[in-house]
Amino acid sequence: MGLLTIIRKNRQKEREMRILFLGLDNAGKTTILKKLNGEDIMSISPTLGFNIKTFAHGNYILNIWDVGGQRTLRPYWRNYFEQTDALVWVVDSSDRMRMGDCKQELHSLLTEDRLAGASLLVFANKQDLQGSMTDAEIQQVLDLPAITTHHWKIWPCSAVTGKNLVEGLDWVVATPPGSRAEDPQRRGTGISVIPEYGKLTQMHHHHRSPITSCNTKRRPRTITMSPLNCLRTLFAPCEYDASDTPALFLALKTFRLTTPTPLIPA
């Protein structure tokens, strides 16, 4: 067997999954992610934007997006739905007062078309705390049995002790996503034509969002960018950073320094 054949087989064995970690603030999303990645969990601050971790799990490469859960950030969750294979909903099992909010936000997410076909893992976190709700109680409070649009499972876990975290990921990778990946409505290719920049006349994108747009004052053209598929061009710095509102303004400021015409937000 030749070397190239071995390399090809290894690449085929390693498949990628895009996993989205969501939940209310203080649920323990970032702590779980750091624990899974073998990082220190002693000093963790609230996530004000998002964290991205990529690591191997079995024969899969997992690209995990951990997005802040504060109420002011929840309207921006929809910017991270595209191409999601699995949704991990993290619940603070000790926070009985907000279980109603937790249920409402979860069921609202499951109506999103771009999450259709994604499997749902509910992590009932903080089981190490005395007085925490059991996974059976949380299952009833969140009305999980009523979910018929997604394949779901609930796991009691602890981000501190690591209990059931790996087992939860095992379930995710063993549960193939639905027909979302084959749906052409969710796998388009966008093209932007920019005559002003000579050879850089076309930018092809295999992901349609998150998308940042800006227009030139002289000749309006929309420039679309995706941090999931960054181009190795002078636009790349903007693409890497344009993933949330604060980063967008910084990216546009940097972008102006490298473009021949003034730019304004679209």
**Does 23 appear as a known binding residue?**
yes
**Does 168 appear as a known binding residue?**
no
Retrieve residue 140's tokens.
């009833």
Amino acid identity, position 56: A
**Does 134 appear as a known binding residue?**
no
Beta strands 152-156; 263-265: pairing state: unpaired
**Does 124 appear as a known binding residue?**
no
**Does 198 appear as a known binding residue?**
no
Burial of residue 177 (CB within 10 Å: 0-12, 13-18, 19+) is: buried
**Does 38 appear as a known binding residue?**
no
**Does 28 appear as a known binding residue?**
yes
Pairs from 247-251 (Cβ < 8 Å, separation ≥ 24):
247/49, 248/212, 251/212
**Does 117 appear as a known binding residue?**
no
Maximum pairwise Cα distance, the chain: 65
d(CA 252, CA 239): 10
**Does 202 appear as a known binding residue?**
no
Q: Is 140 a catalytic residue?
A: no
d(CA 85, CA 180): 8
**Does 229 appear as a known binding residue?**
no
**Does 259 appear as a known binding residue?**
no
Which residues fall within 8 angstroms of residue 257, CB to CB, at 6 or more apart? none
Catalytic residue among 12, 70, 83, 202: 70
Binding-site residue set: 23-30, 47, 69, 125-128
Binding-site residue set for Mg(2+): 30, 47
Binding-site residue set for GTP: 23-30, 69, 125-128
Q: Which residues are the active-site residues? A: 70
